[in-house]
Chain A
Amino acid sequence: MDMDALFLARVQFAFTVSFHFIFPAFSIGLASYLAVLEALWLKTGRSEFLDLFKFWLKIFAVAFAMGVVSGIVMSYQFGTNWAVFSDRTGPVLGPLMAYEVLTAFFLEAGFLGVMLFGLEKVGRKLHFAATLMVALGTFVSAFWILSVNSWMQTPAGYEIAANGQFLPGPSWLEVIFNPSFPYRLLHTVTAAYLTTAFAVGAVGAWHLLRNREEPHARIMFSMAMWMAALVAPVQIFLGDAHGLNTLEHQPAKVMAMEGHYESHPDGAPLILFGVPDSEAGDVKYAVEIPKASSLILKHDPNAPLAGLDTVAPEDRPPVGPVFWAFRVMVGLGFAMLGIGLWSLLARVRGRLYDWSWLHRAAIAMGPSGFVAVIAGWITTEVGRQPWTVYGLLRTEDSASPLAAPAVASSLLAFVVVYFAVFGVGTWYILRLMAKGAHPGELGVKRGDTGPIRTAGITPGPTQNPGYSERLPDGDGEPD
């Protein structure tokens, strides 16, 4: 098929899925964090936890909406732009996606209304159950979609029909729990929790810089820093395990990650930085540690590691993007660990809430999770090329019969709309974050005619003169 149309289709998929993933990366962690906050409020009765719950609920509502609408785009894009892939893999991957809708999407969407608007409508325990269902739904969603992606990377449990379709074998467990799935699931879900932790930490730190005594900021910052300290090291370990699994099943991807154009028969170097040059087949200006790659990947500094010279040229992934995305991700992972360790030191010294440099660093690391997850996805997806189903179906054979102008138009439309709409949405979230959590947070209000019948806590005009008839901005404060 037409190379331009193929390239455009790939760019469109990469663009829409990257944008999309930013939101669930946040929603998965945030839904669980909201459940934790609500649980702490129910258990301790402290109003700060309710304030924090309502504060983050507003942000969650915006982020979740953006995740939903960008997610629907993905579910249809398999069909519109990757019709051959859809036809071929439908029998195997279709059911997994159907289960995602049946067990996750309906669950989170079904209980979202009560979670956002039902605090005064249903009892406390029932509301908490709704919050838990939304959090569970986000996790179950990750389970199924990562199983789908993992099957594309390490297909298992299939047979191939005469017409080229992949058919499920006798065991669905083999399909779902394919070789890379457990590693990818743990690594990605942990990444989502860390992403949220650092976002929360940055918000807490931001408000601590303004007022170190502010109770909500203290709670947020402390919780986030515990996550950083305890979970960042776990994530590094999980990433390593994931990498070892990838070495076994997708060696070409690891070769690209490592920048190993050539095989190393006794001990491969760890290339820290450099500029991969696929034309020449080497990494220019390389800064490397001899034998360290073999040490990490094989636990033996002298172990041989094959390079891309053992892979046919048409089967090699692009090295540059994979090499660099991997380094960005790992670098940020270690930076997260650094913040975690720094926060532990601050705690030991009793300075967690007044070490301004730590707070500034935490603010700078606010977006680190978002950048790291995108870098990670670039590593694994570009590293999967030139396959959509690794070793079995090539990307160039997977696309729909669409002409370049068609895909160019849709790509342009997505780029413009996504930057505009999601850019504005992100700005609204940042504004909410800057406002901070206050005592007596009103949560997700919708003016006087909210979905709850009674107007709730907002006093009417006779009880609160000066409260105008203009639409309130939903944060419970006078306009």
Chain B
Amino acid sequence: MLVLTRKLGEVIRVGDDVTVRVLEVKGNQVRLGVDAPAEVRIYREEVYRAIRKENEDAALHDAGGAALASEVWQREPGKH
């Protein structure tokens, strides 16, 4: 991990196209401004991890797929 120290208002550049600026520091909260091309996705890390985990839990690696879901859904009317 590359560790840099920045003061309020200073900027970090990631690659050629992404910059991160320290906008505000208040107690243990830091407000950051990220400038990046539209195709670069930016996430809060915990949100990214939650979605990645959910995608991984949802991913099927065999032919069960939608047939399994339909059977579960119809097998237990009124509950799942």
Whether both chains belong to one complex is answered with no
